[in-house]
Amino acid sequence: MKIGILSDTHGDIVQTKKVLKILQDCEYIIHCGDVLYHGPRNDLPKNYNPRDLATYLSKLENIYYIRGNCDSDVDEMVIKKDLKSKSRVFNFGKYTIFAIHGYEETEEKRIEKAREFNANIVVSGHTHVKVLKKIDNIIVINPGSTTIPKDGTSSCAIINNKTIDLINIEDNSIIDSLII
């Protein structure tokens, strides 16, 4: 089983298509929020085209969304997907994943919430900075930003049966790995 994780696409259709090509073999994909709008604190993404991105995403079936701080009701309407939940719990085979955008709570609070749901993985976005580590038997993943990375590299994550990889979207190389 492969699970893809992306976040913070911010309306950039080119980068989103790149990341979804990398994640095309994933059975499930979790988008951790900030789908269409770039937000008032970010520069306009180079390939900003939220209308075409909404049309593109509305046709894809295996993506599950978390509402980010830049997402709105109209975003949900145009992508025609559920974008109401600020957090969700997914049970994909042996993985229980607590997913949240991550702008309202600390990492410690996200881990605490994951424990409440007996999750073995917590994923979040928002910071635009990649994270891959294990804290007290809970794997913590932030795939970084698809569009506006604050750490220099556009990225996503893939959970495989034996590893979790952070992937550079530009050249499909592995940035970091964690053996599960």
- Dump pLDDT digits (tens) for 36-46: 998 888 888 99
Q: pLDDT for 88-127, tens place per residue?
A: 999 999 999 999 999 999 999 999 999 999 999 999 999 9
Q: Which residue has the higher pLDDT, 90 or 136?
A: 90
Q: Given this model, what pLDDT does residue 33 score?
A: 97
Q: Name the CATH topology of 3-179.
A: Purple Acid Phosphatase; chain A, domain 2 (3.60.21)
CA angle, 99 then 152 then 177, to 5°: 55
Domain boundaries, the chain: 3-179
Nearest to 47 by CA among 14, 71, 23: 14
Q: What is the pLDDT of residue 6?
A: 98
150-159 burial by CB neighbour count: b if 16+ within 10 A, else e?
eeebbbbbbb
- Structure tokens belonging to residue 153: 């590299």
